[in-house]
Every structure is written in C-alpha cells, then in structure tokens.
Amino acid sequence: MENYSFPHTIRIGSRKSQLALVQTHWVKDRLQNQFPDITFEVHTISTQGDNILDVALAKIGDKGLFTKELELAMLNREIDFAVHSLKDLPTCLPEGLILAAVTKRENPADALVVHEKHQDQQIDTLPAGAVVGTSSLRRLAQLRHHFPQLVFKDVRGNVNTRLAKLDSGEYDALILAVAGLQRLGMVDRIHQVLPPDICLYAVGQAALGIECRHDNLPVLSLLKLLEHQPTCDRIIAERAFLRELEGGCQVPIGVHTQLEADTLTLIGLVASLDGKHFIKESISGKSSEAESLGIQLAENLRQQGAQEILNQIKAEQYN
C-alpha cells in the first residue's frame, strides 16, 4: 500500500434497510480490524427505491433507484464511499465515481420461500393458481416460462415485510435472494434453492460493490484490500453483458457465471415478460478477457432477437 496520509475518520454511506446495514457493517468491521487507528462511521441515506413502496419498480424507472442519493452524497463529499448490493448498481456510473472494490460473492441463486401450508411442495409442485410474490421482472419472466400455471404478484418492502405478507397468507410463496436471507440469519426460510436451468440470477447478485470518488486515493487504497479477484472477473463479464444490452435492473436479463482455473463461462438470458420468448446462450474464454466475453455474448443474443424483446419491454413500460 502506498504511503498515503489517511483521514482520522472515514464516512461510509448505506441505505437504511436491515440488509443494507448488515452488509455495510460487514465492510466496516473488516476495515476497522485492519486499520484500528481510523474511525469508520456509517451514515444512512434514504433512496428513491426505499421511499416509493406502493409502485412496482419497473414503473418507477430503472437507473439508480437505490444508489443515486448515495452517489450525490459522495460527489458532495458528505460520505467517502458507499456500500451497495452490486445488483443495484447501474453499469454506467456518474462522472467522478468508480467501482472501487468487489467483495467475495455469496451464493447468487434465488430461493423459494413458502407459506407453511406448502412445506411439502417445490416450485414445480405448487398447485395451479398459487400466488408467488416477486418484484423482479427477471424472475417473473423465467418463472412464467417454466410454470405458466402459477399466478405472480408484485411484492415490495424489505425482507421482513415481504415475509410477513407471506406468513399472513397474502402469498403462497416468495422468490428471494439466497444471499440476502443468509446475511440476515434467515437460512431456515430457504425452502428450495432454484437451479440455473429454472432461474438465472441478476448481474452482480450476492456480491457487494463499493463505490468511491475516483480521486479519493487514500480511501481507494484501503478498499482494494476487500477486492476478491475471482468474483471481480465474473462481475466484469456480467456487467459488460448487461451494459452492452443497455438493460437496467428492471428488464428480464439473467446470467450465470463459473470460473474454473482461468476459464470463465458466462451464460446469458433475455426473456419477454410473458416468458414466451426466451433467448439463452453461453460463452467461454480466459478470465483475463472477461469484458470482451460479456460484450460478445450480448452481441450473440442480439443477433438472435434479444434487442427486439428489450425494445418491446421498454415500449410497454413507457406506455
């Protein structure tokens, strides 16, 4: 590490949700252990996505719903860096900000969580007409493709709010991220981990993305110690794939990446909202070429009609 003059206090920006704070304090604790002479403070900020809970995410907009206010605070020097769920971080960041570090990824899969009356069921044995809650168009499109007999209903709020709605009988099941439930100590609520042949996950899911000003060199040097290179290689490919398709978080784009030695395999998916049009393909290459692999896979899917699907979805959202 270079011989920087470090500030006495470093301010970390976080959303106010329980999960966001768990993730932020995980980062804070690791930095505090390595740099005991620096005080790390957590500053919570409400984002647009946190404040608007009565409207489906797809109808609000898809760029920076959970990050914009934190980014403004960084640019205004009110905080020094921000901890995000990487899947919430847009692929194009505001001028002056960079993705400073990517942490080791947890299990990125999605989980089926069921009402107690369905404890003996799996996703493929839920009765026809069962109401499944999800606010993700990516999950919605894939599950509609595989299970058209189920009914899907939007659900918003933090994890505890969603689980309360499930337990009250408003839903028969929910689809939630495995990693979020793990981080909240709710592993017992995971009824089934959905395999990739049923549901590809969101770009960046289960990894934390730490965003910082590009000129804040002392803090950037600290954050690099949190970087997990194998995860970073996977994330570079995934985000390049998403960026090339110009898809925000509210379009049905899914991925699955594997890294074996220096070989990176990326599976990408674009689906229509009704699940009837489904384009899926994979690509493999050296992990050092992660970005170009993501770009090439996006082009391969575009040639098979992915752009037409995405254009149709965007047209429907703006009408």
Using one digit for the tens of pLDDT, what is the confidence trace for 93-149? 999 999 999 999 999 999 999 999 999 999 999 999 999 999 899 999 999 999 999
Provide the phi-psi class of 2: left if phi over 0, else alpha when psi is between -120 and 50, else beta.
Answer: beta
Residue 255, domain CATH: 3.30.160.40
Q: Are strands 208-213 and 39-44 parallel, antiparallel or unpaired?
A: unpaired
Please give the full DSSP string across 167-228, using - where no structure is assigned: HTTS-SEEEEEHHHHHHTT-GGG--EEPPTTT--B-TTTT-EEEEEETT-HHHHHHHGGG--
pLDDT for res 318:
60
Indicate if 280 and 268 belong to the same structural domain.
Answer: yes
Q: Residue 199 falls within a domain, yes or no?
A: no
Domain of residue 311 covers 228-319
Q: SS3 for 111?
A: strand
Indicate if 167 and 99 belong to the same structural domain.
Answer: no
pLDDT for res 93:
94
Q: Residue 274 falls within a domain, yes or no?
A: yes
**Residue 316: is it exposed, middle or buried by C-beta count within 10 angstroms (0-12/13-18/19+)?**
exposed
User: Is residue 236 within 8 Å of 209, Cβ to Cβ?
Assistant: no
User: Is residue 190 within 8 Å of 77, Cβ to Cβ?
Assistant: no
pLDDT for res 54:
45
Indicate if 172 and 217 belong to the same structural domain.
Answer: no
Indicate if 175 and 303 belong to the same structural domain.
Answer: no
Indicate if 86 and 67 belong to the same structural domain.
Answer: yes
Q: Residue 198 falls within a domain, yes or no?
A: no
Of 193, 219, 247, which marks where a domain is finished? 193
Indicate if 221 and 142 belong to the same structural domain.
Answer: no
The sign of the torsion formed by the CA atoms of 69, 75, 77, 82 equals: positive
Indicate if 140 and 100 belong to the same structural domain.
Answer: no
Active site residue 197: no
Q: What distance in Å separates the CA atoms of residue 55 and residue 181, rounded to the nearest whole number?
A: 24
Question: Tokens representing 196?
Answer: 């990739």
Indicate if 273 and 318 belong to the same structural domain.
Answer: yes
Indicate if 4 and 99 belong to the same structural domain.
Answer: yes
pLDDT for res 1:
58
Q: How much of the chain, in percent, has pLDDT values that exceed 70? A: 91
Residue 65, domain CATH: 3.40.190.10
Q: Residue 313 falls within a domain, yes or no?
A: yes
Q: pLDDT band at 156, cuts 50/70/90?
A: confident
Indicate if 7 and 21 belong to the same structural domain.
Answer: yes
Q: How much of the chain, in percent, has pLDDT values that exceed 90? A: 83
Q: Residue 30 falls within a domain, yes or no?
A: yes
Residue 51 above 60 pLDDT?
A: no
Q: Residue 80 falls within a domain, yes or no?
A: yes
What is the tally of structural domains in the chain? 3
CA 52 to chain centre: 19
Q: What is the pLDDT of residues 233-262, one digit of tens each?
A: 999 999 999 999 976 556 899 999 999 999
Residue from 50, 80, 88, 154 carrying the catalytic annotation: 88
Secondary structure tally for the chain: helices H, strands E:
11, 13
Give the Cβ contact number of residue 217 at 10 Å. 11
Considering only the C-alpha atoms of the chain, give the largest distance between any 2 of them, rounded to a whole number of Å: 63
User: Is residue 32 within 8 Å of 3, Cβ to Cβ?
Assistant: no
Indicate if 267 and 216 belong to the same structural domain.
Answer: no
Q: Residue 202 falls within a domain, yes or no?
A: no
Q: What distance in Å separates the CA atoms of residue 289 and residue 284, rounded to the nearest whole number?
A: 10
Find where tokens 């229509």 sit: 272
Q: Residue 56 falls within a domain, yes or no?
A: yes
DSSP state of 154: -
- The pTM (predicted TM-score) of the whole model is 0.91
> Mean pLDDT score of the chain, rounded to an integer?
92
Indicate if 298 and 165 belong to the same structural domain.
Answer: no
